[in-house]
Amino acid sequence: MLTKRMKICLIVGSILGVFCIIGASLRSPGSSTSFLFALWYNRLLMGLVIGLSAKSLSFGKAIGRGAFLGFIISFAFYSSTCFYDIVSFLAGVIYGMVIEIIAFKMGD
């Protein structure tokens, strides 16, 4: 079901994924295309999962859920890097909150 909230979360997740690609490219200039794609895809999945969750009744709970989902989803990518890319992992927690905040403010 492609609700307004889902569309917003997917768009924001994909945009934040591009920021992650730029950041990873600057931190590690020799990053492979598959690594960068996996990083972007992780942010897109984060948007999908957050978009599937119901709208929170309170803003504080929304931020907490965004941080939690960002943590869980980013941990999958972080573990695939042999626990090397801590910056992307921590950014995922923050990006989860950002996606949830934007969806809370703009969603249905």
SS3 (DSSP) at 31: coil
pTM of the model: 0.91
- Range(s) of the domain holding residue 56: 4-26+33-106
State how far the Cα of 46 lies from the Cα of 49, in Å rounded to an integer: 5
Cβ atoms of residues 46 and 73 within 8 Å: yes
Report the number of distinct structural domains present in the chain: 1
Would you mind telling me the total number of residues written for the chain in this entry? 108
The pLDDT score that the predictor gives to residue 55 is: 81
pLDDT level of residue 107 (50, 70, 90 thresholds): confident
pLDDT at 11 over 70: yes
